[in-house]
Structure 1
Amino acid sequence: MINPSTQAQKVLGIVHTAIAVSNLQHQVEFWQQVLGFTLDGTAEIGGPLPEDETGVPGIRSKIAMLTKGGVSIELYQPVAPQGRQTYRPSPADIGSWHLALKVTDLDELVRVSSEWGWQVRGKVAVVEEGPGPVGARLVYLHNADGTIIELVQMPES
């Protein structure tokens, strides 16, 4: 039997979250100008390392690493192989995911994000009972790539 406390010690934390995008430059600008992330660097990668890691022969991607508040985001634009698909899950689909960002002005970010092609999935909701922070305002945004981000504005103390 596996000892849960021993297993948990093998995971030290999250290194980054990676998101496939169709236009790297456009998304880097959005993450910098709208969400306030810092660009740490860009590269184009391919060859044995990404092929071995992903199991995708011939994979090649342009990548950008961004950070904010100790969180690292890797945006990557696959350029090879051909025949890629865009994954656009609903939040109810198994395998879907989203990144939740704590924000100070949800309404302003929704407005500005819409100028960059991000749309509200449903509507702004308010947490009325736990376990979440009662009074927090939440909204899901999505873009044409199928990426979903959640904006969370905590209640004022």
Structure 2
Amino acid sequence: MSGHVLGPVHTAIAVSDLTHELGYWQQVLGFTLLGITEVGGPLPEQETGVPGLRSRLAMLALHGQTVELYQPLAPGGRATYRPSPADIGSWHLAFRVADLGALIRDSAPWGWQVRGQVAVVTEGPGPVGARLAYLHNADGTILEFIQLPG
């Protein structure tokens, strides 16, 4: 075991409308806004290898999890990816919730929809009786929500 990684820092998600997504993440998911800034210039260009990269970004936190939402402003010509969960390179972020039905209901006005259907774990290794749902939005972001039994 190499031990190179000391721990997670944040999860970053590119969004088409930072203001709208901030509303969802704060009002529905309960995240706290840590700050908003605009970044550009040599640092993001060097780190990402994208010349002219400029983004408006927000940092949010909840229960020790930090999420960076960023809206690319430049350069132009960006694509929106909407991978299937079966596509190589797709990803999702999973959250435990108290009431999956209420979360799904409260997410709908923000443009988040159940991708398939609510599923129930019937055998291990997962927690038997847990209810699971993938929600996705128009940007192609996928979040998984898990309601544990009991």
Is TM > 0.5 for Structure 1 vs Structure 2?
Answer: yes
Considering only aligned residues, what root-mean-square deviation do their CA atoms show, in Å? 0.5
CA distance in 2, matches of 1:137, 1:32: 23
SS in 1 for 2:24: helix
The percentage of aligned residue pairs carrying the same residue is 70
Q: Do structure 1's residue 132 and structure 2's residue 126 form an aligned pair?
A: yes
Residue identity in the other structure for 1:151: F
CA distance in 2, matches of 1:31, 1:110: 13
- Runs of 4 or more above 2 Å deviation: none
SS in 2 for 1:110: helix
2:24 is aligned to 30
Alpha-carbon deviation of 1:10? 1.6
Q: Do structure 1's residue 99 and structure 2's residue 93 form an aligned pair?
A: yes
Aligned length: 150
Q: Do structure 1's residue 150 and structure 2's residue 144 form an aligned pair?
A: yes
Residue identity in the other structure for 2:52: G
Following superposition of structure 1 onto structure 2, how do residues 29-48 of structure 1 map, counting pairs within 5 Å? 29-48=23-42
Of structures 1 and 2, the larger Rg is shown by 1
Give the gaps of 5 or more residues in structure 1: none
Alpha-carbon deviation of 1:129? 0.6
Alpha-carbon deviation of 1:17? 0.1
Residue identity in the other structure for 1:67: A
CA distance in 2, matches of 1:117, 1:107: 16
1:59 is aligned to 53
Residue identity in the other structure for 2:87: D
CA distance in 2, matches of 1:10, 1:74: 23
SS in 1 for 2:45: helix
CA distance in 2, matches of 1:87, 1:49: 25
CA distance in 1, matches of 2:118, 2:13: 24
